Amino acid sequence: MAELTFREAIAAGIAQEMERDPMVYFIGEDVGAAGGVFKATVGLFERFGPDRVRDTPISEQAIIGAAMGAAMTGLRPIAEIMFSDFLATCWDMIANQVAKTRYMTDGQVSIPLVIRTANGGGTRFGAQHSQSLENWAMAVPGLKVVAPSTPADAKGLLAAAIRDPDPVIFFEQKSLYGVKGEVPDGEHVERLGEAKVRRDGKDCTIVALAAMVPKAMQAAEQLAADGIQATVVDVRSLVPLDTRTILREVVKTGRLFTVEENPRLCGWGAELASIVADECFDDLDGPIVRITTPHVPLPAADILEDAAMPSVERITRTVRGSMR
């Protein structure tokens, strides 16, 4: 095991797959000699050269168009969109072309394309650079959607995404880049569509994603001091969604809380709440509770951004109040 930061684990996952498969290449703004604006691709340019690690102009449409064409001809591109907010500038290509090509060609053409993007708030970038957009991608048939919470998962899930025959949007929560954790040495590949139980408890189930997972874990520690034992489930992958694990844990505890960074309206937790209500309503001992960011643009001011996003204190207070 090696202790790596989240950003180092991203670079390690890309390097692992580029070393393994010469068809993998990497394209994006400032991803080469600069090592990425978030320094998540340091060393790749020096190791693999300009033919496989390519800087682009400031054009998200050009990045996705070039990567899609490369994927159609047999390469396995990794395309970086610097901020997830900028997906809006190339969303037509992603939603109407990348996501639909395999279906529209009756399986004759697949798009093994990974779109990496820095996502979410907590770093004071303001409303146009801090959105949490997993629910955008989740709503489009044909896209797989992944959002890791640990360095080990960053490496292992990214490797799995690169090997997948379908397009994957890989969301990297910006506030996690500096987080350290143990990462397996050598080849490390996780499976897409498998949630992980990070903590076992008997009283309630808290389901979280990406940067909300460590907050849920801290809240569970505080709740334990009050005698409330919480299970924490890390979703990891929204599409495919591991409903089996989530439903199993909800049935065990009888209570479900979702912790979502995305705005409340049409968030991923709403879909999960619907599934749980359909599949195990009789096992619930109380209402499903969603802990979310309100449906507002995320402020840049630190005190306002912190107030908008789910916090450890708000998770703890909400669960404690609902469990009485």
* Residue closest to 6 by CA, chosen among 52, 54, 42: 42
Half-sphere exposure of 29 (CA within 13 A, CB side): 15
10 Å CB burial of residue 80 (0-12, 13-18, 19+) is buried
* Residue closest to 114 by CA, chosen among 222, 21, 183: 21
How many whole angstroms separate alpha carbon 207 and alpha carbon 195? 10
Q: Which residues of 232-248 are buried (b: 16+ CB within 10 A; e: fewer)?
A: bbbbbbbbebbeebbbb
How many whole angstroms separate alpha carbon 260 and alpha carbon 311? 10
Half-sphere exposure of 225 (CA within 13 A, CB side): 6
Q: At what angle do helices 151-163 and 6-20 cross, to 10 degrees?
A: 30
Q: Name the active-site residue from 7, 102, 116, 129.
A: 129
Kindly list the distances between the CA atom of residue 183 and the CA atoms of 6, 16, 43, 78, 204, in Å, as whole numbers in the listed order.
10, 13, 18, 21, 29
**Is residue 129 annotated as a catalytic residue, yes or no?**
yes
Show Cβ contacts of residue 150 under 8 Å, excluding neighbours closer than 6 positions: 6, 179, 181, 213
Residues marked as catalytic: 129
